[in-house]
Structure 1
Amino acid sequence: MKLVVSKISQLAKKIVDQLTGAALPTLYFNPQGEARQMLDVLPQLKQKYRPTPWLSNTHVHLLYFDIIKKKTIQLQYDAIEQLEMADGGITGIAWYGLHLPADIPTIVVMHTLTGTPESMAELVRDLHQHTGWRVALCLRRGHANLPLPVPKISIFGFTDDLREQIKYIEGKFPDSTLYAVGSSAGTGLLVRYLGEEGEQSPFKAAFALCPGYDTEHGFKNVHPFYSKVMTQKLFKSFIYPYNSIWQQTASLSQVLATKSLLEFQHQYFELAGYSSFEAYNQATNPIYVFENIKIPLMILNAEDDPVCHIRNFEPYKDVVQKMPNIMVVTTKKGSHCGFYEGLKQTQSWSARLIADYLKVHHI
Structure 2
Amino acid sequence: MMKYIPNVKSVFKLAPELPTLYYKEDGLFNDTVTDLEQLQQQYKPTPWLRNHHIHLMFFDIIKKKLINLKYDAIEQLTMADGGITAVAWFGLDLPEDTPTIVLLHTITGTFDSMREIVRDLNAYTGWRVALCVRRGHDCLPLTVPKINLFGSPQDLREQIIYIQEKFPKSDLYAVGSSAGTGLLIRYLGEEAEKTPIKAAFALCPGYDTEIGFKHVHPVYSRIMTKKLIQKFILPHQEVWQQIPQWEEILQAKTLAEFERIYFKMAGFSDYESYAKASNPIYTFEDIKVPLMILNAEDDPVCHIKNLEPYKQTIKEMPNIIVVTTKKGSHCGFYEGRLKTTSWSTRLMSEFLLSQEKVHKNN
Give 5+ residue unaligned stretches, structure 2: 358-362
CA contact (8 A) 1:205 1:296 kept: yes
Q: Who is 2:122 aligned against? A: 128
In the TM superposition, 1:237-276 aligns within 5 A as 237-276=231-270
Q: Distance in 2 between matches of 1:138 and 1:152?
A: 17
The structural deviation recorded for 1:22 is 6.1
Q: 1:316 aligns with which of 284, 290, 310?
A: 310
Q: Who is 2:287 aligned against? A: 293
1:355 corresponds to 2:338:
no
| Change in 2 beyond 3 A, CA 1:132/1:266 | same
CA contact (8 A) 1:302 1:336 kept: yes
Give 5+ residue unaligned stretches, structure 1: 1-6
Could you list the per-position Cα deviations for residues 176-225 of structure 1 after superposition, in whole angstroms to 9, with x for gaps in the alignment? Answer: 00000000000000000000011111111000000000000000100000
Q: 2:224 aligns with which of 226, 230, 238?
A: 230
In the TM superposition, 1:12-161 aligns within 5 A as 23-161=17-155
Q: Residue 271 of structure 1: SS of its match in structure 2? A: helix
CA contact (8 A) 1:22 1:51 kept: no
The structural deviation recorded for 1:306 is 0.1
| Change in 2 beyond 3 A, CA 1:225/1:22 | farther
2:335 counterpart letter in structure 1: E
CA contact (8 A) 1:94 1:136 kept: yes
In the TM superposition, 1:179-258 aligns within 5 A as 179-258=173-252
Q: Who is 2:360 aligned against? A: none
The runs of at least 4 consecutive aligned structure 1 residues that moved more than 2 Å come to none
1:177 corresponds to 2:177:
no
Q: Distance in 2 between matches of 1:245 and 1:350?
A: 39
CA contact (8 A) 1:62 1:336 kept: yes
The structural deviation recorded for 1:249 is 1.3
Q: Residue 92 of structure 1: SS of its match in structure 2? A: strand
Could you list the per-position Cα deviations for residues 48-76 of structure 1 after superposition, in whole angstroms to 9, with x for gaps in the alignment? Answer: 00000110000000000001101111210
Q: Distance in 1 between matches of 2:226 and 2:89?
A: 29
The structural deviation recorded for 1:304 is 0.1
The structural deviation recorded for 1:23 is 2.1
2:85 counterpart letter in structure 1: T
Q: Residue 69 of structure 1: SS of its match in structure 2? A: helix
2:139 counterpart letter in structure 1: N
Identity of aligned residues (%): 63
Q: Who is 1:3 aligned against? A: none
Q: Distance in 2 between matches of 1:185 and 1:37?
A: 29
Q: Residue 80 of structure 1: SS of its match in structure 2? A: strand
1:300 counterpart letter in structure 2: L
Could you list the per-position Cα deviations for residues 272-319 of structure 1 after superposition, in whole angstroms to 9, with x for gaps in the alignment? Answer: 100011010000000011000000000000000000000000000000
Q: Distance in 2 between matches of 1:164 and 1:353?
A: 28
Q: Distance in 2 between matches of 1:67 and 1:39?
A: 34
CA contact (8 A) 1:22 1:332 kept: no
Q: Distance in 2 between matches of 1:256 and 1:22?
A: 47
2:102 counterpart letter in structure 1: V
TM-score, scaled relative to structure 2 = 0.95
TM-score, scaled relative to structure 1 = 0.94
1:180 counterpart letter in structure 2: A
Q: Distance in 1 between matches of 2:288 and 2:125?
A: 24
The structural deviation recorded for 1:152 is 0.3
Q: Distance in 2 between matches of 1:119 and 1:212?
A: 20
Return 337-346 or 29-38, whichever deviates more.
29-38
1:259 counterpart letter in structure 2: K
CA contact (8 A) 1:300 1:330 kept: yes
How many pairs align?
350
The structural deviation recorded for 1:41 is 1.3
1:67 counterpart letter in structure 2: I
Q: Residue 238 of structure 2: SS of its match in structure 1? A: helix
The structural deviation recorded for 1:37 is 2.1
Return 246-255 or 332-341, whichever deviates more.
246-255
